[in-house]
């Protein structure tokens, strides 16, 4: 296995600014990965995403294996050629999507029905690896069991035990030399179980480590101690990836605990429903009070949407149902989150992460931007 080695160039407490080295090249951390579920970020094309400059895109194995199929993507030259994206790509195992469908789970794997046509499918740790090898992303994730929270302790422990057993099987079956494989740490909100699971996963010597099963219903006050326990038990020279977390407060607090990589649909999902993320909080673009507002979505933002368009114009597009509205707001929201993570990297380098955490906490309280 070719390790995705992380070299820290600066630290601030447990936080680190680093560079990840993979067979494709390098990318800087902390980093946010926009979600390209079916091979594209919703409403955006590859040119839009290239202009935003994210170092990594995340695609969804569950959806791609069903439509158009891993064999088809492989025949068409792999995921990079198929999508036209030349940067790093990561594919999840499909576990989160599968387990949202209430599948049949046993020690060997999981059986589920397609959301497209109802057909039955089977995933095992080995077949999840094989599918992702054919798809051809730079980083693939091992198959895990994600348990919604709160959940009974025995359910969380069983899911954690199976995830560890499946991680070992995935590790043994992975053979593509130009592709990294990350293990996933489960364990609910128990710091003890998270620490134990992280140590056992780390002992398998993966290229990097995902931390899954958080931000799935539990309050942040429970999430962060569990996350801290996991990161403390993971090796310092491998990337740590907090899966599915993208709200601003959780981003900066997790970076402070030593997390390097993030993904979340939040920026683009909110954009499609007309919510803007800004330096002063979030607000609804369709609000009537913005009808005559000639200022940009966020005066502090330098994205292409804010440089060219006003709040009044964006509101008009949403009110008349113009699809361009979602695209322009998606560009802004992604640019804002990417900039936030970039600011966090700079804050780690300058030793000022505590100040950034205080700023984000103050601006992202319950009151929306006025």
- Six-digit token pair at 9? 């160039």
Does residue 291 lie in a domain region?
Answer: yes
Q: How far is CA 179 from CA 37, 74, 130, 344, 346, in A?
A: 19, 14, 12, 28, 29
Which residue numbers are catalytic? 92, 263
Query: Distance (Å, rounded) from C-alpha 81 to C-alpha 136?
Result: 10
| Structural domain harbouring 294 | 270-359
**Which tokens in the block code for residue 281?**
């909080």
Last residue of a domain, one of 243, 264, 285: 264
Radius of gyration of the chain (CA): 20
Count up the domains in the chain and report the number.
Answer: 2
Residues 41 and 185 in one domain: yes
Instruction: Let me know if residue 365 belongs to a domain.
Output: no
Q: Which residues pair with 16 in a beta bridge?
A: 11
Average pLDDT over residues 81-87: 98
Does residue 366 fall inside a structural domain? no
Residue percentage of the chain with pLDDT more than 90: 93
Does one domain contain both 101 and 231? Answer: yes
Of 234, 264, 294, the one marking the end of a domain is: 264
Does pLDDT of 8 surpass 60?
Answer: yes
Query: What pLDDT, on the 0 to 100 scale, is given for residue 220?
Result: 94
Residues 151 and 109 in one domain: yes
**Same structural domain for residues 300 and 210?**
no
Query: Is 367 a residue whose pLDDT tops 60?
Result: no
Is residue 370 predicted with pLDDT exceeding 80?
A: no
Contacts of 256 (CB under 8 A, 6+ apart): 12, 13, 14, 15, 353, 357
- Are residues 253 and 292 both part of a single domain? no
Assess whether pLDDT exceeds 50 at residue 2: yes
97-122 burial code (b ≥16 CB/10 A, e <16): bbbeeebebeeebbebeeeeeeeebe
Residues 257 and 315 in one domain: no
96 pLDDT band (50/70/90 cuts)?
confident
CB 113 within 8 A of CB 86: no
Tell me which of 236, 264, 292 is where a domain ends. Answer: 264
Is pLDDT above 80 for 321? yes
What average pLDDT is seen over the chain? 95
354/6 Cα distance (integer angstroms): 23
| Residues 57 and 181 grouped into a single domain | yes
Nearest Cα to Cα of residue 18 among 210, 353, 260: 260
DSSP string covering 303-355: SHHHHH--HHHHHHHHHTT-THHHHHHHHHHHHHHHHHHHHHHHHHHHT-HHH
Asked whether the predicted pLDDT for residue 3 surpasses 80, the reply is no
pLDDT band at 1 (very low <50, low <70, confident <90, very high): low
In a domain, 364, yes or no: no
200 and 60 in a common domain: yes
> Based on the domain organization, do 254 and 281 belong to the same domain?
no
Same domain, 197 and 322: no
Indicate whether 211 belongs to any domain. yes
280 and 257 in a single domain? The answer is no
Q: Which of 270, 147, 274, 167 is nearest to 210 (CA)?
A: 167
Q: Is residue 368 part of a domain?
A: no
Q: Are 29 and 155 within one domain?
A: yes
Structure tokens at 274: 């007309």
Residue 257 domain-assigned? Answer: yes
Q: What is the CATH number of the domain that holds 218?
A: 3.20.20.105
Calpha distance 280→303 (Å, rounded): 16
Residue 289 covered by a domain? yes
Nearest in space to 57 (alpha carbons), one of 169, 139, 163, 148: 139
Roughly what angle, to the nearest 10 degrees, separates helices 125-135 and 153-173?
50
């Amino acid at each position: 296995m070719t390790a995705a080695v992380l070299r820290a160039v600066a630290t601030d407490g447990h936080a680190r600014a680093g560079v990840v080295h993979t067979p494709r090249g390098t990318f800087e951390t902390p980093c946010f990965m926009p979600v390209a579920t079916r091979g594209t970020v919703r409403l955006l094309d590859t040119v839009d995403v290239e202009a935003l400059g994210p170092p990594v895109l995340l695609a969804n194995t569950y959806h791609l294996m069903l439509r158009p199929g891993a064999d088809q993507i492989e025949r068409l030259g792999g995921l990079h050629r198929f999508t036209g994206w030349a940067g790093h790509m990561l594919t999840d195992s499909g576990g989160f999507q599968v387990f949202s469908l209430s599948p049949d789970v046993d020690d060997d794997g999981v059986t589920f029905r397609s959301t497209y046509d109802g057909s039955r499918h089977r995933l095992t740790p080995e077949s999840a690896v094989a599918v992702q090898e054919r798809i051809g992303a730079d980083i693939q994730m091992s198959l895990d069991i994600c348990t919604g929270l709160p959940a009974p302790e025995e359910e969380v422990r069983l899911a954690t035990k199976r995830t560890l057993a499946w991680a070992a099987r995935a590790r043994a079956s992975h053979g593509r030399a130009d592709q990294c494989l990350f293990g996933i740490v489960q364990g609910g909100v128990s710091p003890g179980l998270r620490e134990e699971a992280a140590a056992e996963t780390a002992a398998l010597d993966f290229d990097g480590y995902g931390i899954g099963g958080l931000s799935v219903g539990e309050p942040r006050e429970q999430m962060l101690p569990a996350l801290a326990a996991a990161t403390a038990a993971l090796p310092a020279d491998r990337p740590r990836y907090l899966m599915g977390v993208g709200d601003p407060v959780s981003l900066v607090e997790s970076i402070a605990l030593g997390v390097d990589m993030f993904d979340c649909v939040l920026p683009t999902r909110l954009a499609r429903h007309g919510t803007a993320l800004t330096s002063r909080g979030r607000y609804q673009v369709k609000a009537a009070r913005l009808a005559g507002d000639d200022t940009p979505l966020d005066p502090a933002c330098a994205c292409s949407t804010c440089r060219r368009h006003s709040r009044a114009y964006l509101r008009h597009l949403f009110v008349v149902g113009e699809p361009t509205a979602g695209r322009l707001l998606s560009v802004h929201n992604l640019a804002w989150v990417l900039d936030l993570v970039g600011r966090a990297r700079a804050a780690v380098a300058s030793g000022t992460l505590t100040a950034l955490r205080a700023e984000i906490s103050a601006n992202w309280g319950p009151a929306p931007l006025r």
